[in-house]
Structure 1
């Protein structure tokens, strides 16, 4: 049983990263089975067991620093020797310290992992359309000492471009910032649009100088056996995308 998805990127050897799949835990339907979210109505005991299993599955140096994600642009910087606490209110987390596990949770929103080419800085960002439009990726990149040209990004499992139907207000919000984002939206007969969140993320990353971008070919909605999806199921679990330095 495979519980982890490993990024397909040429990260330095000092960088470790993964995303969880939905299998390998003990949560009961509709959270089956490796639900890592404590905020979705699942049995807290099951979630804690799943989180302990994650530490084992991924060979984590310690429990991740979990975020309370609010679709904003705040980024937490993990300090040297910082112990794991309950949660931080933020949508991204950065570290240049070894063995500090950066983690975000998703179930359709886009997880983005970052590392410096030097292998001494990492970050994880939660990019739903609101956070993406507001600049969460740019805010995360600003935490790095490395220039954007020396940062690589991996786009983890998210809602695919054939399933992400949005209203005109979403397209308008992106278009107001940058007209070239028009290419990420396909008009539908019902007046709505299909949005490509992967394309939008690439545009935002490239606009600030990040050109080494990997991943971005999955769909959480379409692949029920591997991924949780809020858009598909509403009541469901959460996956995690994690990155850390060794």
Structure 2
């Protein structure tokens, strides 16, 4: 099955979360399966068919706000990105029936809502955006006290697969983050001077520093499961999956 709904304890009942895998779909070649990215070189017709199938799994009447993701910190209103995707790495809405969506193939998808389900947001958090403050930007847009927010971290590259250079570790350490940041990096046995980074834990630390108290995460590693997930780190040329959040129409 290509589209999965996530049901989380203590989340508002009017908020729905979905994520996709590469299983199913009609794309071929390196994009084989349920590719949702128009920008990766796949045939547009195949991607459109996959996106139409995705809509069939969402509540009737739902619309998807896609983004042109650039590893930055801009977070926009979802309604402004429906007709033509805006260049941004997050979107939010208080409207019902608009699905905030981010595309991923190793980067971390972060979905946000508040306890009353009055607002939802989706954020694309690769390491560059995370260092630059994309989660900070998203939380500031929601006009909700951070302790009233809930976060779900979707499938992403796992800590055993995300090898980074010393400059990546240094970028996080320069921010003088809370104690424990260094624990998210362990020396790589593959290349001297490199590290294995725990991207979900780095994001969780950032959210905690921002004041969030309710954070849950998937444990799936996109790199180590080629049957279910696209992975840019593993394959280079590949498709994209999506994580989506919406308020019921």
TM-score by length of 2: 0.94
Q: Indicate the SS of the match to 2:211.
A: coil
Kindly indicate whether the alpha-carbon contact (under 8 Å) linking 2:36 and 2:241 is maintained by their aligned counterparts in 1.
yes
What residue is the counterpart of 1:48 in the other structure?
A: 48
Q: Distance in 1 between matches of 2:81 and 2:196?
A: 42
SS in 2 for 1:30: helix
- Which residue of the partner structure matches residue 23 of structure 2? 23
Residue 163 (structure 1) aligns with: 161
Deviation at 1:118, TM superposition (A): 0.6
Give the Cα–Cα distance (whole angstroms) in 2 for the partners of residues 52 and 111 of structure 1: 21
Work out the CA distance in 2 between the residues paired with 1:125 and 1:21.
Answer: 18
1:78 Cα deviation from its structure 2 partner? 3.1
SS at match of 2:40: coil
Does residue 183 of structure 1 match 2:203?
no
Work out the CA distance in 1 between the residues paired with 2:16 and 2:129: 25
Q: Which runs of 5+ in 2 are unaligned?
A: none
Shift of residue 130 of structure 1?
0.2
- Aligned partner (choices 98, 101, 104) of residue 103 of structure 1: 101
- For residues 225 and 193 of structure 2, the distance between their equivalents in structure 1, rounded to whole angstroms, comes to 26
3-state SS of the aligned residue for 1:243? strand
The number of residues matched between the two structures is 243
Q: CA-to-partner distance for each residue in 1:52-103, whole Å, 9 max, x for gaps?
A: 0000123363331110000000001135xx6821211100000011111100
Q: 2:216 aligns with which of 214, 217, 225?
A: 214
Counterpart residue number, 2:240: 238
Q: Which runs of 5+ in 1 are unaligned?
A: none
Partner of 1:120: 118
- Which residue does 1:195 correspond to in 2? 197
Q: CA RMSD in A?
A: 1.4
1:192-246 residue CA offsets vs partner (Å, 9 max, x unmatched) = 0000001100110000101200014110000111110000001110001001111
Q: For the residues of structure 2 that align with 1:4 and 1:45, how far apart are their CA atoms? A: 19
Q: SS at 1:177's partner residue?
A: coil
